[in-house]
Structures are given as C-alpha cells and as structure tokens.
Amino acid sequence: MNWLLNILCILNFLISCTKAQQEYSANSVLNCNNKYETNYSCNGRNSTCQAFLIFRARNPYNSVPGIAALMSSNISEIARINNVTRLTFFTPEREVIIPVSCSCSGLYYQAKTMYYIPAPIETYFMIANGTYQGLSTCNALQRQNIYDEFNLRPGLELQVPLRCACPTAKQAAKGSKYLMTYSIDVGDDILKISKRFNVSVKHIVEANGFLNENPLLFPFTTILIPLPSEPSNLDTGNENYTKPVKSFSPPPAANFSRGKSKRNLYIVSGVATGFFLLLLVVFWVILLVFFKKRASEVPCEDILVEIANIDHVPKVFKFKELKHATLNFGSKNQIKGSVYRGVLKGEILAVKKAITDISKEVNMLHKINHFNVIKLCGYCEHKGSFFLVFEYMKNGSLREWLTKTKSRDTISWKKRIQIALDVANGLHYLHCFTNPGYIHKNINSRNILLDSNFRAKIANFSLAKETDTSGTTRKVVGTTGYMAPEYLETGSVTSKMDIYAFGVVLLELVTGKDAVIVEEGGETLLSVAVAAVMEGENAETVLDGFIEAHMREDDDLEIAFPVASLSLRCLTREPSNRPSMEEMVSCLLKIQVNVHKTEQPVRIETMDIGGV
Ligand SMILES: *[C@@H]1O[C@H](CO)[C@@H](O)[C@H](O)[C@H]1NC(C)=O
Ligand SMILES: *[C@@H]1O[C@H](CO)[C@@H](O)[C@H](O)[C@H]1NC(C)=O
Ligand SMILES: *[C@@H]1O[C@H](CO)[C@@H](O)[C@H](O)[C@H]1NC(C)=O
C-alpha cells in the first residue's frame, strides 16, 4: 500500500510541476493522521526566495518582538514592512505581514522556525492550528520532530516548518514576484481576499489550483496569494477593503490594559505569556533610554504595565476601596458565602472575607503563577478581618456547573476533558514546579472554578501545605468524599492525597454526581459506588446507567469508560500505586485527542491526491 501512495505522491508532484502551481490542500491538513505531505511542492523557478506570511496578532504574540521570535523573522523587517515601530503592540486580530526566507527542503518548500513548548498541555495540532494559525500543520510538525505526540513537554524545542512557496516560472512571467501564505479566516471567500490584497481573482485561482472562482474554503487552512511587489501596510494600503466585523481596533492605549490582554490569555497559558514578557523585558531595558527621548512615539508606561504582570505582586487594598467596590458587601454582590463580586477600576474581581490570618495564603499565592491556579490580585486587613481579592471566575464552581447545567450541549466531553486537563496541569505545577512544592489538601469540585471560557483554575488554598513539611497530622480536615484513606486513617500528608481527590473529581466529570451521593437509604461515596460498578459484571452498561441523565449520550461510553478507569487508578488504596499528575496529564491528552477526533467536522475523502 505504501509504495502505491509514494508513487501517487510523486505523480502528484510531477503533475503539479507541469501545471506549474500549487494545489489547495483543503481541510485534509486539519487531519493529523493523514500521511500526505502538507507543505507546498518545491516547483518554483528558484529553490530559495523571499516569501511572506500573514499572521493575526493574538496575545501573547501581539508585539513585533514576540511575533519575530515566534516566526524567526527579523524585527526590523517586520517593523518596516508593516510601517510600525520595533516595539509596537498590535490590536487583537490585526493582520501582520511576516517576511520569511522560503527554501526547498527535499521536495517541499518551507520557512524554518523554532518553537519552545511553554506549557504542559500542548499538542501538535494546538501548535499548528492554534499558535501558528494554520501556517504550519500537525503533519509537518510530526514529520520533522522526533517526539511522540504524548511526550511533548515544556521546554522542548520543536522544528516548525511554515508553509510558503516561491513563484513558478509561469507566475514569474506573469509578473508575480512573491507568494504570500494566507490562512483562511471564517467568512473569507476568494473575491474578498482578492479585493483585500489587490490581486486578481484569476491569479489566486491559478496559484492554488482551484477549479472555479468560488471554491469551498476551510478556515485555518492556507492559500497562496501571488504578489507583483512587496506587500505593504495592510491597514492603510487598500481603501476598498472593509475590515471583517470581528477585527476591532480600540484606541492603541486600550489594548494594553490588563483586562483586555487577560481576556486573550486562554490561547496560551500564562507560562507562555511570562516567557514572552521576559523577552520584552530585555528589549525594554535595551531600548528604555532610546524611548525615553521619544516617548511620544511608543507608549512606554504601557510596556511597564505588561512587565509588572510578571511579578503578580498582590496589591494591598484599602478597606474603603473594597467596601465601595462591593457596594458595602451588599447581598446583591454576594456570590456565595463570604465571597463578593466587586468592581475595581472597571475590572470585575472576587473579594473573599476570611476569618483567620491570611498571611500564609498570601505568601504562597504570590509566588505561584500558573494559568490553572486562581490569581490573587491583592488583599486587605481591616480591624482584625482579612480580605483576599481574586480574579473573577464567571462560571462559578465546577460543582455548580455540573449540577445546574441541564443542556447536553453545554456539558460537552470536549469541555469536560479540558477541565480535567486544566486541573491536572495546575496540580502538576503545584506538586513539581513551585519551590517549595505544595500539596493543596482540599481538591474538590467546589474549589475548582471556571472562567468565562470554561477553563478551570484551582482555588481555596487555605489548607495547602509545603511538600517538605509534609508528614503526618493529627488534625484531619478536608472534604468528605475526597479524603484519601491513608490521610483519614493515619493523618499522612503527601501529594498522593491530591491525586486521590483528583480521581474523585474525574468521576464527577464522568457521572455528574456529587462526591457524596445522598439517597433514601443513606449516603454513599461516589468513589465506592463507581469502583463497585467497574468491578462488577457488565461494567459498561451499568456505568452508562449510572451517569446522570442530563449528561448521557449514545457514544458516551467510548470516553466515559477510559476516564472512569483512569480515575480508579488515582483512587488506588496504596498511595505509591497512584499515578503522578504528570502521568495523568499525558493520559488525559490521549483521551482529548480521541474526543477531538470524534467531534471533527467535515472530512474530504479525496484529499490531496485529487490532482491525479
Ligand atoms: C531566480 O531565478 C531567476 C532565473 O533563474 C534569476 O534571474 C533570479 O535572480 C533568481 N532570484 C533569486 C532571488 O535568486
Ligand atoms: C483552530 O484554531 C482556531 C483559532 O485560531 C479555533 O477557532 C479552531 O476551533 C481551531 N480548530 C480546531 C479544529 O480546533
Ligand atoms: C491595484 O493593482 C493595480 C495593478 O494590478 C494597480 O494599478 C493599482 O494601483 C493597485 N491599487 C492599489 C490601491 O494599490
């Protein structure tokens, strides 16, 4: 079979040679399992050339230095061609022209760049489609990197081949000097794109081997746009172009406010932001003197605001401020218990009243900076009462969401697995990447909060302990249904107790049920009930019946069963037999890949051997 495919590929290559153009790969590039080469054939007049890419500015890749580093492009060149300064921050979704050097590597063109994995939750698909916006593909990434999908770890360096091409002799004869790789956006069609870049529809159709002038285009796949000259500043270059609705341009200063940039944080975890802000610090230090003299050109303080974010130094609030922000701790602003919603300087925050001394929690949280751990913005002491101010989590606790939401669409597997991964990543970070390491000691679905994008963050660190002070305690405190047997029996405190509790949270995500099931006959622990189900006869069918009705679906078991099995490993009685959080992250990633596969939309079966 393989030799046949090879022959077809070579045939395809020869045919595209004679046709002197590239074939649009349609949505086959979104399928990470297909074996076809996704880069453009090396069929141009020159084997090396200057090429251009269009990249949409998105946090944290929204500044000239940040984008240059991501794309291995030249800062000065990006600044020149986009007619901006070297330190410009772009408004979200602003299209940025990236000059790259394109060259043949074997039979295919590519522009080479490097990517350091910043966070533990990345997959090849996320890197290709999310970070690189379709300018690279998961196939190409898999082919050029030795790492297995499930061994992608923070800090690894990946080779990223970006899609580019050089004009063919025919195109050059027709006056096209450069090819620009453009990633299709939702709502794009050839006519719009042709107007946008002032290139004839005919040229675009020819360059991509389209059969007609209105071909089916798939978002996040690329097309080539032949250009007679260097592209110039997109925002001012063409009056005919009306910006798509979703591209908005707030006044430049607004773009730098903490609130705005925070909204985009879900794209890449906070770790990535930190990394790039660090890069910015370097630029800032070098250029500070320079820009002090020319402060009117680049808003210097705004860069400082971004840099201040790295530290996450919690602010000390005045009691008056908090009182005002929460409308005097009024019932209208009460979220739950002693937690209030407050608006401080236009930003929504959560204010938590604490009875006990909070210094331990404050000292701990200000050292912790992870996307999956709730961010402490500040605190306040007033006449013996203490207040903690946190980022506001719009969708409340995981428990509330599982209980309240009754629509099957909202509680999708995609969301549930993402939440599991978020918690696993947060715990992995707490256990292994902080110094000292921490044990949360009170992981449960009420202490896992969901932001506006249903991304999960671990909250309530009032019981947390440093790993090196772990040992045994006589005072057993925690939440019923989540406490590990060794902790209940001997007071033994290790990170394995968080893993046990995480196992229970996983079961809640599978079944929708609470950790303690209250029935007429009394109380049953969810962990005990599910273990009985899984060990009994017809486990799959019984498990299906056990899942709450509002969460049940026909193909549920394909995912429910493996997740339930995974959680039982966390619930193993012997602590040393429980998996580490690192192992959990990697298992959940595998499950996530399957979820995405089953949810993948249209697939074109002909794929790119269509040319034959
Ligand atoms: C590309 O090839 C043509 C013809 O072979 C040559 O004239 C031109 O200088 C080359 N361009 C570059 C950038 O090498
Ligand atoms: C690809 O990335 C875009 C954002 O750039 C996202 O909206 C889209 O859902 C992603 N595609 C898939 C299949 O996840
Ligand atoms: C668009 O391209 C044509 C040549 O194809 C050129 O004459 C015209 O000036 C261009 N318009 C703009 C606004 O760049």
Distance (Å) from CA 46 to ligand 1 centroid = 6
Give whole-number Cα distances, 202 to 171, 175, 193, 206, in Å: 12, 13, 12, 6
Ligand nearest to the CA of 597: 2
The answer to whether residue 91 is domain-embedded is: yes
Specify whether 247 is located in the same domain as 321. Answer: no
Whether the predicted pLDDT of 258 surpasses 50: no
Specify whether 368 is located in the same domain as 474. Answer: no
**CATH number, position 577:** 1.10.510.10
Nearest CA to ligand 3 atom 10: 198
The residue from 340, 372, 391 where one domain ends is 391
Specify whether 47 is located in the same domain as 176. Answer: yes
Q: Is 129 in the pocket of ligand 2 (CB under 6 A)?
A: yes
The answer to whether residue 45 is domain-embedded is: yes
Specify whether 383 is located in the same domain as 433. Answer: no
Whether the predicted pLDDT of 360 surpasses 50: yes
Q: What's the whole-number mean pLDDT along residues 328-346?
A: 90
User: pLDDT by residue (tens digit) across 208-256?
Assistant: 988 888 888 988 899 999 999 999 866 433 333 334 333 333 333 333 3
The answer to whether residue 274 is domain-embedded is: no
Contact assessment for residue 266 and residue 455, using Cβ atoms and an 8 Å cutoff = yes
Specify whether 437 is located in the same domain as 379. Answer: no
The answer to whether residue 276 is domain-embedded is: no
Specify whether 351 is located in the same domain as 402. Answer: no
Best mutation site among 28, 122, 220, 267 for ligand 2 pocket (most ligand atoms within 8 Å of CB)? 220
Return the CA Rg of the chain.
27
Residues with CB under 6 A from ligand 3: 198, 238
Average pLDDT, the chain: 79
The residue from 391, 418, 443 where one domain ends is 391
Specify whether 24 is located in the same domain as 153. Answer: yes
Whether the predicted pLDDT of 139 surpasses 70: yes
The residue from 391, 409, 431 where one domain ends is 391
Contact assessment for residue 365 and residue 461, using Cβ atoms and an 8 Å cutoff = yes
C-alpha–C-alpha distance, residues 57 and 338, integer Å: 40
SS3 of residue 444 by DSSP: coil
Task: State residue 600's pLDDT score.
Answer: 53
Q: Is 123 in the pocket of ligand 2 (CB under 6 A)?
A: no
Contact assessment for residue 85 and residue 79, using Cβ atoms and an 8 Å cutoff = yes
Q: Which helix (H) or strand (E) holds 108?
A: strand 108-116
User: pLDDT by residue (tens digit) across 602-612?
Assistant: 444 333 333 33
Specify whether 242 is located in the same domain as 213. Answer: yes
DSSP string, 526-595: HHHHHHHHHHSTTHHHHHHHHS-GGG--GGGHHHHHHHHHHHHHHT-SSGGGSPPHHHHHHHHHHHHHHH
Ligand nearest to the CA of 171: 1
Specify whether 342 is located in the same domain as 222. Answer: no
The residue segments making up the domain with residue 546 are 398-598
Specify whether 346 is located in the same domain as 403. Answer: no
Residues with CB under 6 A from ligand 1: 45-46, 49
Task: State residue 134's pLDDT score.
Answer: 94
What tokens were used for 509? 């995500």
Whether the predicted pLDDT of 169 surpasses 50: yes
Ligand nearest to the CA of 229: 3
Q: Is 611 in the pocket of ligand 2 (CB under 6 A)?
A: no
N- to C-terminal Cα distance for the chain? Answer: 17
How many CB atoms sit inside 10 A of residue 423's CB?
A: 29
The answer to whether residue 244 is domain-embedded is: yes
Whether the predicted pLDDT of 264 surpasses 70: no
Specify whether 413 is located in the same domain as 428. Answer: yes
Task: State residue 388's pLDDT score.
Answer: 92
CA atoms 460, 466, 467, 473: torsion sign: negative
Best mutation site among 42, 45, 179 for ligand 1 pocket (most ligand atoms within 8 Å of CB)? 45
Task: State residue 599's pLDDT score.
Answer: 63
**CATH number, position 361:** 3.30.200.20
Select the more confidently predicted residue: 27 or 298: 27
Ligand nearest to the CA of 194: 3
How many CB atoms sit inside 10 A of residue 75's CB?
A: 16
Query: How, if at all, do strands 339-344 and 347-354 pair?
Result: antiparallel
Report the number of distinct structural domains present in the chain.
3
The answer to whether residue 553 is domain-embedded is: yes
The answer to whether residue 261 is domain-embedded is: no
Specify whether 436 is located in the same domain as 367. Answer: no
User: pLDDT by residue (tens digit) across 283-303?
Assistant: 444 444 333 333 333 332 333
Share of the chain above pLDDT 90, in %: 41
C-alpha–C-alpha distance, residues 299 and 75, integer Å: 18
Whether the predicted pLDDT of 481 surpasses 50: yes
